[in-house]
Amino acid sequence: MKRLLIIFICLALSNVQPSFAATKPIVVKEIALLATDANAEGLLALGNQVVTFANQSNATADISITSRDTSGLTVWTKVIDSGRDEIASAIAADGKGAVWLAGVSAAAATPDTTTVVGTVSNPDGVSTEKPQVTRRDLTEISLWQLSPAGELLSTYTTTLGTAGLVTAVSVSTSGVSVVGSKIGGVFVVSASATGVFSKVISFGTSKTTINSIARASDGGHYLVGSSAETLVGKKPVGARDGVLIKVSKTGALSTVVRSSASGASRSWNCSTANLFSVGDVKSSKSSEVAITKFTTSFTPTWTMRLPSSGANACSIGAAGSFHAAFTQISAIKGFSGVKASKGQGVILTIDSKGSITGAVSNSAMGQPLALSYSPGNGVALLASGIGANPSSIFYLKTR
């Protein structure tokens, strides 16, 4: 009976009828271009600032962070350079306004204490080339905490044991959690606010990718992503399924729900702390963005699909609303205002009941790279450029 119930729930989730719940015609407004930044890789709206980070290669791999005000002027910049390679790939803020970067770094080199005795005979005077320094594998997980003014407050590191890449970070009052990929599968690890790390949780293979993590109130985690392998006895249905996973406090995969379509490739690419999730559904006949609000038991409360191709992103919004960003491949029925071209990005505002209440776009806005909302201030988007245009930061005041 329990097995039949699980099968029924999975089928129900995969066959939820998509809806377009616009309560009135939507006039697409123009969002302001805040700044161009060809190097930015991530973004965070923080109070009246927009913080971006980029990775740069010097003598070692370093991290550059820039904060701008909502008029586009630079407030502060910071370079993190510990003398070893370090790469950031996710950013979040805590309740006190501190910025948290998550990524990977190389272990500190062990100094060579070998003493050479004697001289080397070199009668021909041949000069020898200095040996090239070999960069060490990025086998450590690192967290960098910065103040709202850009001061580096703390650096916390734990050993992963193999090369890895962080894909998402989640911060709550009790600590920080990161998820990512490593050789051999997926990893999840948490740290207290003072940098005490938990044991690394590992599962799956390279056929599973997790794109977002949220810390649960019971000490566990909610994960969303995609998988083309069997997880907890649940086999893939499509070419690749979207997956929603609850990891218990002990590290067990307590719940796995697959979002599937026969012959299609699905992925959940973004999810907020309250499980507003955005992803894509691709088949030989169509390409769509899926926008769904889930409960903590992964039951969809409402869902919609719209024609889209490329990256997408999500964030919370004001008064219980949400934002979803994606690229258009055709005009959206019922929308007017800013004329959209193929491949142009758009940001929707959706209320708690699943009704679209607003939309913004810009002719310079390409594929969404990161979307973030600052309570009481506004929503910021990092998007790729269209054509030869560089990546840019867009900002909309919502207060």
First to last CA, the chain: 51
Nearest-angstrom CA–CA distance, 64 and 58: 11
- The per-residue pLDDT for 88 is 98
pLDDT band at residue 109 under the 50/70/90 scheme: low
Q: Which contiguous run of DSSP H or E holds residue 109?
A: none
- Which tokens go with 123? 């009668």
Distance, CA of 346 to CA of 356 (rounded, Å)? 13
- Structure token digits, residue 32: 């302001």
Residue 184 lies in a domain: no
Tokens of 315: 């964030």
Question: 333, exposed or middle or buried, with CB in 10 Å at 0-12, 13-18, 19+?
Answer: exposed
User: How far is Cα 198 from Cα 189, in angstroms, rounded to an integer?
Assistant: 6
Express each pLDDT in 19-51 by its tens digit.
Answer: 454 457 899 999 999 999 999 999 999 999 999
Residue 135: pLDDT over 90: no
C-alpha span between 107 and 163 (Å, rounded): 11
What residue has token string 């992963």? 160
What DSSP string runs through 239-288? SBEEEEEEE-TTS-EEEEEEE--TT-EEEEEEE-TT-EEEEEEE-SS-EE
Residue 71 belongs to a domain: no
Q: How many domains does the chain have?
A: 1
- Residues 169-195 have a mean pLDDT of 96
Is 199 inside any structural domain?
no
399, 376 Cβ separation under 8 angstroms: yes
Lowest mean pLDDT among 54-68, 131-145, 149-163, 257-271: 131-145
- Per-chain mean pLDDT for the chain: 90
> For position 338, what pLDDT does the model report?
86
| Structure token digits, residue 56 | 């740069």
Provide the whole-model pTM.
0.88
Provide the token pair at 73.
């002027």
Q: pLDDT value at position 130?
A: 52
How confident is residue 127, by pLDDT bands cut at 50, 70 and 90? low
CA–CA separation, 376 vs 316, rounded Å? 12
H helix or E strand, kind and range, residue 2: helix 2-14
Give a yes or no: residue 374 inside a domain.
Answer: yes
Q: Do residues 366 and 383 make contact, with C-beta atoms less than 8 angstroms apart? A: yes
Give the pLDDT of residue 120. Answer: 56
The answer to the question of residue 336 being in a domain is yes
Question: For residue 13, is pLDDT > 80?
Answer: no
Domain assignment of residue 377, yes or no: yes
DSSP 8-state code for residue 115? P
- What is the total residue count of the chain? 399
Q: Would you give the distance in Å from CA 328 to the centre of its chain?
A: 21
Per-residue model confidence (pLDDT) at position 8: 33
Cβ(308)–Cβ(328) below 8 Å: yes
- pLDDT 10s digits, 271-281: 999 999 999 99
Dist CA 265 CA 237 (whole Å): 10
Spatial separation of the C-alpha atoms in residues 131 and 108, rounded to whole Å:
19
pLDDT the model gives residue 159: 97
Cβ–Cβ contacts within 10 Å for residue 198, how many?
Answer: 16
Q: Determine, yes or no, domain membership for 381.
A: yes
> Which of 14-18, 249-253, 371-375 is predicted least confidently?
14-18
Measured distance CA(352)–CA(321) in Å, rounded: 5
Query: Where residue 209 falls among pLDDT bands split at 50, 70, 90?
Result: very high
Q: ∠257-263-265 over CA atoms, to 5°?
A: 60
| Amino acid (1-letter code) at residue 50 | V
What is the per-residue pLDDT across 55-107, written as a single tens digit (0 to 9) for each? 999 999 999 999 999 999 999 999 999 999 999 999 999 999 999 999 999 99
**How far is residue 19's CA from residue 355's CA, in Å, rounded to a whole number?**
10
Q: Is residue 394 part of a domain?
A: yes
Q: pLDDT of 317-376, one tens digit each?
A: 999 999 999 999 988 888 999 877 788 999 999 999 999 999 999 999 999 999 999 998
* Amino acid in the structure at residue 60: T
Looking at the predicted structure, is the pLDDT value of residue 161 above 70? yes
Strand 322-327 and strand 185-191: the pairing is: unpaired
What domain range includes position 34? 25-54+310-399
